[in-house]
Structure 1
Amino acid sequence: MFSGSIVALVTPMTIEGAVDFDALKSLVKWHIEQGTQGIVAVGTTGESATLETDEHLAVVKAVCEAANGRIHVIAGNGGSATHKVVALTEALDALPIDGFLTATPAYNKPTQQGLIAHFKAVAKATDKPIVLYNVPGRTAVDMKPQTVAVLSELNNIVGIKEATGDLVRLADLQAQVQPGFALLSGDDATSRAFMLAGGHGVISVTANVAPKAMRTLCDQALAGHGADALATDGLIQGLHRSLFIEANPTPAKWALKRMGVLATDNLRLPLVPLTQAGQASVEADLKIAGLI
């Protein structure tokens, strides 16, 4: 389940700033047609920080309905307060999701023991599988491989999205976690190398705009076809960079609008529309990738 090309899905919004559920369901259908193997609903790229809890639940429910069992759905359930993450997990648990993606608590800067206590509390709130998410660039806390190894001993903590882009970190994880623990890249730019080195897939921002190419890249890399994977990745390496040229998911939403997949690229404050310079960069990389 937790392997291959998994998209960190954007949350479409109307001009008024409401969730656009019709566009959301169309987006899920498009990903299924394009070969995406899993969807993370309401992760960081889904603007989880600006959605109310009822909206968060409604978006995940709508993704599940649109997926209708045709693609795995993973719900983002991260947060900074453990009791709030537990409550959200319990609420999401009632939906037909396949698992959770749980980020380290942002802003608090807990110790490694604090991280262990946090994730143990979340794991007790559900029987469904949990994928840890280590993204120190956003949360200001780095979950060390030794901590991941301890958590991998829990029955329903089954993998990690590792977003440091550090391939030495991958080797450390491989040496310490329990057998069968899923190792997923959270860094598009290094995901090819990550998979060729034994990782199991990627939870991807680039997959929002280049889902077919990301699926092909994952298939090639996971099969050990390094030269083919290099060629595929070469076409989208620019996107790996330019989709982060301004705050994610700002460039990805603009790209989807430019491609005609979404009608709008609306965001919620404090995110603002992509600048002209950013638009030029993303457009150039979309052309290189053959997407416009």
Structure 2
Amino acid sequence: MAALGLLSAGAWLALAQATNYSLWINGRTGGGQVGNHADFTYWGPATTAAGVNKKAVNWDGYNRISTTNGNIRDALDCYCTGPNWCYVAAHSAGNLQIGYALSLYGTSSRSIKTPTPNSAGQCSNSGAGTQTGWNIKWVNVAGGAGGGSELADAGDWALSEPLVSDLKTSTARALYNHNATTGKWFYMYAGSKGTLYSFVLPGQDDEAIAYHSSGGVSGSSGASFCNPSDWLCNDLTLGTAANQGGRAKWSYHSVRFRDDGEALDHYTRGNWAGIVSKVRADMVANAQ
């Protein structure tokens, strides 16, 4: 009985030390200082509520996913190992970053870290050993570029940016296995207040990303998907159901918000704006 009591006390101690974190992964152009998890320049005021113990997983938003993904893995190691768990929010190319990390490294052995990063955003080993992958509850994606953007295909973004090569639709879709999320759910938020590039982006879009990408639609290329009020193309369906016309979503991808009112575009405007506002509201309500 004494041994059982000691084990119970140890379990309670581990539970008391467990902490949940909300990780925010930026998209193209960056903005926050890489390695500084308190710098929310990309998103908006750092004082704005955005989920429990929020951390900015800053990367440069310029170089290719394969060469910058280490910044994301460092943060996941810091906050999502051992007794600690994470909620993840990603915007635009941040979708590629978390998808790439989970697909290629989500079943790898990770050293359990102490969640106190140095200036480079890296944490030291806690001495508690290793674990497989990361403790992630779910992933919210605003204007996700997991399926690429036709703006990269057409050269509307600076072709000198290495990241733009990854954002081409065929490249983004072949960059990793989008179905391999290690069982973590991706909840997609798709904006449709797009006007400036509507002639380039198929179907509804948020002025940077079309529904085929922000809705997590599967396949090796993009296609036109719209709101139910638009009769000119197939509907992007809510949830995990196949879209009108039969095209499926990637595994563990679910459309949580579709911008039927065409009110939300791609841009944060330094104030958690656009489609990001919907993800932030959900993180405040549910990332606890």
* TM-score, normalised with respect to structure 2: 0.35
More helix by share: 1
Structure whose CA Rg is larger = 2
* TM-score, normalised with respect to structure 1: 0.35
